[in-house]
Chain A
Amino acid sequence: MSRADALRPEGVRRRSPLWTLGLLGSELAVTVRRWRTLALLGVLAAVPVLIGIAVRIETRDGAPVGGGNGEGPAFITQITNNGLFLVFTALAATLPFFLPLVVGVVAGDAIAGEAGAGTLRYLLVAPAGRTRLLLTKYATVMAFCLLATMVVTVSALLVGALLFPLGELTTISGTRIGFTEGLGRALLIALVVAASLVGIAALGLFVSTLTNSGIAAMATTVGLLITVQIVDQIPQLHAVQPYLFSHYWLSFADLMRDPVYWDDLVKNLGLQGLYAAVFGSAAWARFTAKDINA
């Protein structure tokens, strides 16, 4: 640092509004460089491999999947006809638990983990700005929802293409669509699944502003996920079920109808948006007023 720099008066430092995005880039890189994140993504990538190999072995002698009883995740019986269905099966298998678990871990750790490590105080005196830091964390967690879903999708697509034939496919409604359109729908489904995770991500981020322990925030978020899944299974509680973030998750299958049945899809996206707004605001209110003692 030169003497001239040190003596430069306040306010002379010119800056570009784009510089503020540097934190987002750094945040994305730091999230993905953690071993924990990589391990979780590895587990997600392994799920389609396991399903693909299991189906391949079971149907080696031409027998139908699950003995033809229609058991197992959605679309699993179709995989042998078309590898593309492995994408739908893998997403249907990971969406109830693996995907939200991974997102919950990353979201829960977002603020609380930094607080626990003490790095939060240095980010804030840098100064990252509390609202800016929270928005950056929020954007990163959302991006991670998409990344996690894409890992499952791409892995399933590769395994499906390797182990099974590709080509035209039959929709739930019984019509046949071309492979390209099928691929387009698969990507659309991946986007909807990623958007389905926004609710738990917002919830996790809010929990993360409540504590200075990353582990506590992750455990609470995952605990809430399990609780919500259980409540969603109890018929006597049907009055609250439409408000649970997981209630319309499996509506993504409606994208495989012809024509597409939009009702539940729209309800799902609206619900996720509601969670994002409510818990995003709560996280902001909490984080901007909080004493940082860690």
Chain B
Amino acid sequence: MDEPSATQREPAPRRDQGDATASVIATRGLTKRYRGGQLAVDGLDLTVPAGSVFGFLGPNGSGKTTTIRMLMGLIEPTAGTARVLGRPMPRSARTVLPQVGALIEGPALYGFLSGRDNLLRYDAADPTADPRTRRTRVAAALDRVGLAAAAGKKARAYSLGMKQRLGLAAALLQPRRLLVLDEPTNGLDPQGMREIRTLIRELAADGTTVFLSSHLLDEIEQVCTHAAVMAQGRLVVQGAVSELAAGARDRLAVTTPDAAEATRVLKELGVGDVTADGDRVTGEPPERDLAEVTAALVAAGVRVRGLTVERASLEDAFVALTGEGFDVAG
């Protein structure tokens, strides 16, 4: 786990001072030790490229939220540095944070205020927010997350999903260069999750970098271009999702009632690591055209029901990279 992974050395831009614009978030040896002595984040070197949708993965207690709080200037690192939008945090919080929208550890609202009044208050807290456009921007943000109809309702009466949407709306009150979203689909129904994913894609298309923490692998796989995995306060791996997935090999899978014969033919064709499991025979995908493989199998009298190359999932990649399942708690 301590060794830098192959993907870490790859195209991630060099994070020297001069190149700060290329990475929206760059941390160096970022460490947080709580007063009790517990090491929450341990020597984190994280690089989030500009324009990426960056998935920040890890089981509960792996240090994701502590990292996000350090990036947002809420807690002071014990050691190491964090740069957000090219500036050091927490020192430059005042210039950096107006350009950052954040949803941290779920939404927090004033229950006795309406949804709209909650947003008006959060917007008033930002000294760079123009009060003349406040109402318009609040209405636009409410509309964007689908809460326009419930804007006048007291936030205390909101469902968890509605609160989550209102939290997202607070992050969208101003045009942002970076969005930090901690578990944004928590509490949403499948339809709501789809809407949020669409929203994230739209924002990314507008040029906003999205830093998305999640414990749901398929969510990351669906929307993210880059990802990093935390475990027990340490960074396990980071890089482009396509490269991470490439870490786990694709598999050639043949479905056939004649498994033994198929195994023999595939081995003759030079397919490596062939294993049979019931009516399924799998192996490493061969260099040659798959049509030839099919022809050879049929010529040998193997009855083929199906032949595909199964794409490796991100989960396979993590198992391959970390040697353990994703859901192992830290």
Q: Which A residues contact B (CB, under 8 angstroms)?
A: 1-3, 5-8, 10, 13, 15, 19-20, 22-23, 25-26, 30, 33-35, 117-119, 121-129, 132-133, 289, 291-293
Interface of A is mostly: helix
A1 touches B127 (CB 8 A): no
* Inter-chain contacts of B129 with A (CB < 8 A): 19, 22
**B100 contact from A13, A125, A291, Cβ within 8 A:** A125
B207 touches A7 (CB 8 A): yes
B121 touches A26 (CB 8 A): yes
Q: Which residue of A lies closest to B76 (CB)?
A: A291
B69 touches A126 (CB 8 A): no
Answer whether A293 and B128 are a contact pair too, CB < 8 Å, given A118-B105, A119-B110: no
**Size category, B interface:** 35 or more
Nearest CB on A from B152, distance (A)? 15
Nearest CB on B from A25, distance (A)? 7
Answer whether A125 and B102 are a contact pair too, CB < 8 Å, given A6-B208, A19-B128: yes
Distance A23 CA – B134 CA, assembled complex (angstroms) = 13
* Inter-chain contacts of A20 with B (CB < 8 A): 127
Distance A10 CA – B20 CA, assembled complex (angstroms) = 14
Q: Is B14 an interface residue (CB 8 A)?
A: no
Q: Which residue of B lies closest to A33 (CB)?
A: B112
Query: Inter-chain contact count A-B, CB under 8 Å?
Result: 118
Answer whether A127 and B97 are a contact pair too, CB < 8 Å, given A35-B112, A292-B74: yes
* Inter-chain contacts of B120 with A (CB < 8 A): 26
B127 touches A23 (CB 8 A): yes
Q: Which residue of B lies closest to A13 (CB)?
A: B128
Interface flags for B110-125 (1: CB within 8 Å of A; 0: not) read 1011000000111111
A118 touches B112 (CB 8 A): no
Q: Which residue of A lies closest to B103 (CB)?
A: A122
Q: Which residue of B lies closest to A129 (CB)?
A: B94
* Inter-chain contacts of B95 with A (CB < 8 A): 10
Can you report 14 A-B residue pairs in the complex whose CB atoms are below 8 A from each other? Answer: A6-B208, A22-B123, A26-B121, A30-B113, A118-B105, A119-B108, A121-B69, A125-B74, A126-B97, A126-B125, A126-B126, A127-B98, A133-B125, A292-B74
Distance A171 CA – B277 CA, assembled complex (angstroms) = 104
Distance A293 CA – B140 CA, assembled complex (angstroms) = 31
* Inter-chain contacts of B112 with A (CB < 8 A): 33-35
* Inter-chain contacts of A2 with B (CB < 8 A): 175
